Structure 1
Amino acid sequence: MWLLPVLFLPIVQGSYPLMAVSNAVSGSVRGSLTVQCRYEPGWETYKKWWCRGANWENCHILVKTNGSGEKAKGNQVSIQDNQKMNMFTVTMEELRWKDADTYWCGIEKSGTDLGVKVKVTIDPVTVQCHYSPEWETYVRSWCPDADLSSCTIVVQTAGSELKKNLVSINQKMHTFSMTIWGE
């Protein structure tokens, strides 16, 4: 009996020339976040972009490279292409609650651009302040500016919630904390 050799060929799925290192990223209110997008060799001199919106075909481009490794800046966002590593990096700074959305890494090309979805979420931040026992009866407040003379108080202990922010007081530990959920 003759046994016919069976030839096993691996099934290779087509790969997409662009991918986000992570399809979901988060950053803290007033903080920053970084997104890295990798591309296959051959796309080095193409323009890379970062846009916002649920549908990438008509999303709003926030920043775009000029086809070189030079850093490009937009409003609180920058993009830089590392052509030797076949990767571009997007940095969003001074994050606000309203920045949570769907974004896209993209490569501009003739015809339809390449695009990969990245979900951006914004995490709350909790700030804890310590005070001396003699200050227990005073109103405690939160002001986000460094200059106290021109500061607008965002929240104070007279109310428990204001502008989506939450204040908690631990009188035994002589602390009060504020969770910043947004603006």
Structure 2
Amino acid sequence: MWLLPVLFLPVVQGSSVLVAVPNAVSGPARGSLTVQCRYEPGWETYSKWWCREVESSKCYILVQTNGSEQEVKDDRVSIKDDQKLRTFTVTMEELRWDDADTYWCGIERSGPNPAAKVKVTVDPVTVQCHYGPGWEPYVKSWCPDADLNNCAILVLTTGSRLRKNELSINQKKHTFSMAIWGE
């Protein structure tokens, strides 16, 4: 992924020039999320960007428009500006747990860049497994690989006791569920 470090202090924060909707967003692991950044009239032809904060005054630009309405995509992130609605949309796909962080949507100009802070979180996906009657006392495990002979077990239970990660067992319904985080 192409990353461009950008020093974004001073930044015009909390002004009405640019607002992220919502300013906190979450999406499921391996899923996607979308953020809309709305701006005031007069900013239509400026370049828009989406960056990931690395320090309080540094941000790495992940995607950036060239001032047009053409969509720009790099790796798992895309940005598209709708100049008539004065909104640019950022989409993050194939979310992983380490995507959770502070991001900024901004407008490129000389001097302070208008920017809006967005907190991104990634939710786990819950998988439920069913087993037949009589299997209650046996060990249950979760293996993400189709080849059970070469499987790295992520979760292992002894009866109804949890040994690793988040797992719930319902012996009456013959199920066990596990929360899976993105890779």
TM-score (structure 2 length as normaliser): 0.78
User: Where does residue 113 of structure 2 map in the other structure?
Assistant: 113
**Cα root mean square deviation, aligned:** 2.4
The higher radius of gyration belongs to: 1
Aligned partner of 1:140: which letter? K
CA drift of 1:141 comes to 2.7
Three-state SS of the structure 2 residue aligned to 1:95 is coil
Q: How many residues align?
A: 166
Matches within 5 A, 1:41-120: 41-53=41-53, 57-120=57-120
Partners of 1:143 and 1:93 in 2: CA distance = 24
User: Where does residue 160 of structure 1 map in the other structure?
Assistant: 162
Change (3 A) 1:86 1:151: farther
Mark the runs of 5 or more structure 2 residues left unpaired by the alignment: 1-13
Structure with greater strand percent:
2
CA drift of 1:170 comes to 1.2
**Residues 23-59 of structure 1, C-alpha deviations (whole Å, 9 max, x = no match):** 1111122221110000112211111100111657421
Partners of 2:138 and 2:37 in 1: CA distance = 50
**Residues 64-85 of structure 1, C-alpha deviations (whole Å, 9 max, x = no match):** 1121111111231111111121
1:37 correspondence with 2:37: yes
**Residues 125-164 of structure 1, C-alpha deviations (whole Å, 9 max, x = no match):** 322122222554554332345xx137643223347243xx
CA drift of 1:175 comes to 0.5
Mark the runs of 5 or more structure 1 residues left unpaired by the alignment: 1-13
Three-state SS of the structure 1 residue aligned to 2:98 is helix
**Residues 56-108 of structure 1, C-alpha deviations (whole Å, 9 max, x = no match):** 74211111112111111123111111112110111111212221111101010
Aligned partner of 2:162: which letter? S
Partners of 1:42 and 1:58 in 2: CA distance = 26
Aligned partner of 2:111: which letter? G
Quick one: higher RCO (CA 8 Å, sep 6+), 1 or 2?
2
User: Where does residue 7 of structure 1 map in the other structure?
Assistant: none
